[in-house]
């Protein structure tokens, strides 16, 4: 009984540790790689000899080992082999088990057939195969061309202004290839290769459009010397509203920053024609019914104890002129509206009418901003 216990303990004590097992596995893997490399070297040399008309046969019963020429060959060839291949010659088991016999063993003939098949298929794959990453929805292609955001691009497609290889497409989700010719109103679109991100402290009397038929000043006039890329504004402000505005040619980011599901935070400083009552502040926080639906501020308060006509309001809705309409609904006239924060970006160190490029860290934070909101809504 004691002897049995002693044997069991010795077996446990002498058991290989985790590091030893891992090292043994690494050595086996390394040896298998060396053997495979030696077999490949031999196959390549055999193929070269075959092209020269030299017939070769395996040494003994080792079908995967080095090869030597038959006695009928006048000039035996030399076989360049790596040092590792010499040190670790490939060996097959002397008495194959049932498991080993069932496996498909590579032979010289099968390796030659595989080489021929692989060589013949290279051109076919390159010419005809279409991988998934080479396709994208048509509205995404237009957005990446720097024309507009995805939603605006979808409207352009539905209106019949977009053609693909000469055919008018009305479905925004239509899959296009990089090689396809996409035209918008006859103009060929090219994908933007360099994303650009700009923060602008917008002044008054500038409109947030790419162009204006009435000839008014646009925010693109301010940044015209910043880049040659086609830019468009994100989180638009009306003509008389000032403050933080993002301009980019990244259609994906533009869609995210304007989509309601991400609940992107915006903070405004509102100057009104008269002091705001405490009851009205509470009504704004509780919410109210406007002509286009219910709206409630995330937070609202006075900015100072003396000037009751200057209010700060935090809101995530992107509805048109929503802040002005909230106060107009309560009987106030908005004298000045300034956006001091958009998507956690402020106008700090950026004077009115000036701009700066966003840093890599700021862009990275924007792309992952409020990502949890979409996951919650999907559940």
Residue positions annotated with a catalytic role: 238
Angle of helix 251-258 relative to helix 150-158, nearest 10 degrees? Answer: 100
Q: Return the ∠ at Cα 345 (arms to 238 and 316), rounded to 5°.
A: 60
> CA 204 to CA 199: how far, in whole Å?
16
> CA 303 to CA 101: how far, in whole Å?
84
- The CA-atom distances, in angstroms, between 371 and each of 56, 92, 195 are 64, 55, 21
DSSP H or E run through 143: helix 138-144
Report CA 175 to chain centroid distance, whole Å. 18
> CA 254 to CA 364: how far, in whole Å?
14
Task: Give SS3 for 339.
Answer: strand
> CA 29 to CA 35: how far, in whole Å?
10
Closest CA to 45 of 77, 74, 73, 71: 77
- Asked if residues 225 and 375 have their Cβ atoms less than 8 Å apart, the reply is no
Strands 334-342 and 241-248: parallel
Tokens (6 digits) for 76: 């035996």
Contacts of 349 (CB under 8 A, 6+ apart): 356
> CA 79 to CA 41: how far, in whole Å?
9
Closest CA to 284 of 272, 294, 273, 297: 297
């Amino acid at each position: 009984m004691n002897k049995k216990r002693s044997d069991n303990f010795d077996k446990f004590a002498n058991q290989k540790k985790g590091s030893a097992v891992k090292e043994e596995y690494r050595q086996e893997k390394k040896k298998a790689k060396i053997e495979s490399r030696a077999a490949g070297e031999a196959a390549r040399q055999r193929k070269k000899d075959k092209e020269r008309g030299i017939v070769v046969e395996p040494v003994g019963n080792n079908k995967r080992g080095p090869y030597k020429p038959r006695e009928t060959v006048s000039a035996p060839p030399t076989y360049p082999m790596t040092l590792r291949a010499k040190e670790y010659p490939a060996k097959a088991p002397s008495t194959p088990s049932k498991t080993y016999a069932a496996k498909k063993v590579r032979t010289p003939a099968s390796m030659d057939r595989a080489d021929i098949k692989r060589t013949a298929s290279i051109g076919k794959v390159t010419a005809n195969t279409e991988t998934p990453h080479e396709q994208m929805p048509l509205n995404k292609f237009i957005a990446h061309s720097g024309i507009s955001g995805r939603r605006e691009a979808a409207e352009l497609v539905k209106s019949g202004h977009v053609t693909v290889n000469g055919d008018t497409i009305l479905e925004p989700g239509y899959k296009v290839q990089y090689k396809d010719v996409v035209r918008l109103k006859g103009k060929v679109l090219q994908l933007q290769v360099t994303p650009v991100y700009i923060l602008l402290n917008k002044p008054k009397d500038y409109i947030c459009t790419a162009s204006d038929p009435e000839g008014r000043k646009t925010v693109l006039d301010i940044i015209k010397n910043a880049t040659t890329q086609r830019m468009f504004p994100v989180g638009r402000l009306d003509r008389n509203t000032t403050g933080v505005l993002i301009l980019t040619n990244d259609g994906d980011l533009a869609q995210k920053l304007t989509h309601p599901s991400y609940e992107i935070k915006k903070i405004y400083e509102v100057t009104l024609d008269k002091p705001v009552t405490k009851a009205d502040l509470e009504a704004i926080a509780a919410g109210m019914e406007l002509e286009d639906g219910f709206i409630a501020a995330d937070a609202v308060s006075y900015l100072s104890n003396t000037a009751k006509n200057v209010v700060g309001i935090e809101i995530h809705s992107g509805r048109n002129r929503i802040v002005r309409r909230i106060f107009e609904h309560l009987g106030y006239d908005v004298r000045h509206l300034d956006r001091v924060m958009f998507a956690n970006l402020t106008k700090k160190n950026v004077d009115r009418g000036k701009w700066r490029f966003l840093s890599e860290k700021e862009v990275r934070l924007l792309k992952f901003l409020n990502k949890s909101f979409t996951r919650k809504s999907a559940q």
